[in-house]
């Protein structure tokens, strides 16, 4: 098979996440959903993507338990796509991507929005990784440990 390689059986959690949301559009759809969009047409017009691709992506996200379909809240007969807890759990991934752009983008002046604390209107803090005891950890201060049975497959 000359298929696009699947990471489904991979034991690395990063690869497993990418299997679900590692394509070009899924994270943007989740981003829109987190900011309140629910309808097919809303996603399509906000993202400007082809309808067949959107259709396929929405179906895949529903299959992965990231979105769920629900009857429209406005009483019409159409349906809506709403985030599940798993979908809302992707929020830190989006924040990490956003902050990475803010810090390293070559043309940061082209970035149009800032993520702020809704209550105070002030920018949020950077995501930081901490140890159990609260020490701030850089990537060099972490390492990977096999979980149970030793199966080898890197990071």
Partner DNA sequence: GCAACTTGGTTTTATGATGCAACCACTGGA
Partner DNA sequence: TCCAGTGGTTGCATCATAAAACCAAGTTGC
Binding mask 31-60 for DNA (x = CB under 7 A): --------xxxx------xxxxx-xx-x--
Q: At which residue do the structure tokens 């830190």 appear?
A: 92
Size of site (CB under 7 A) for DNA = 25
Q: How many angstroms separate the CA atoms of 142 and 132, rounded?
A: 12
Q: How far is the CB of 138 from its own copies (least distance, A)?
A: 8
Tokens representing 90? 């992707």
Give the CA count within 13 Å in the CB-facing half-sphere of 113: 6
- Window 89 to 128, contacts with its own copies (CB under 8 A): 89-106, 110-125, 127-128
Pattern 54-83, its own copies, x by CB under 8 A? -----------x------------------
Contact between 49 and 113 (Cβ < 8 Å): no
């Amino acid at each position: 098979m000359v298929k696009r390689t699947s990471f489904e059986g991979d034991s690395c959690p990063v690869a497993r996440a990418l299997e679900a949301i590692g394509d070009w559009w899924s994270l943007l759809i989740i981003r829109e959903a987190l900011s309140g969009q629910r309808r097919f047409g809303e996603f399509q017009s906000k993202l400007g993507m082809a309808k067949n691709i959107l259709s396929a992506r929405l179906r895949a996200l529903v299959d992965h338990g990231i979105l769920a379909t629900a009857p429209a809240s406005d009483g019409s007969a159409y349906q809506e796509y709403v985030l599940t807890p798993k979908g809302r759990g992707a929020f830190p991934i989006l924040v990490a991507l956003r902050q990475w752009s803010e810090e390293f983008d070559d043309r940061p002046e082209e970035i149009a929005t800032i993520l702020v604390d809704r209550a105070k209107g002030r920018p949020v803090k950077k995501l930081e990784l901490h140890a159990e005891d609260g020490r701030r950890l850089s990537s060099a201060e972490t390492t990977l440990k096999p979980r149970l049975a030793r199966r080898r497959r890197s990071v």
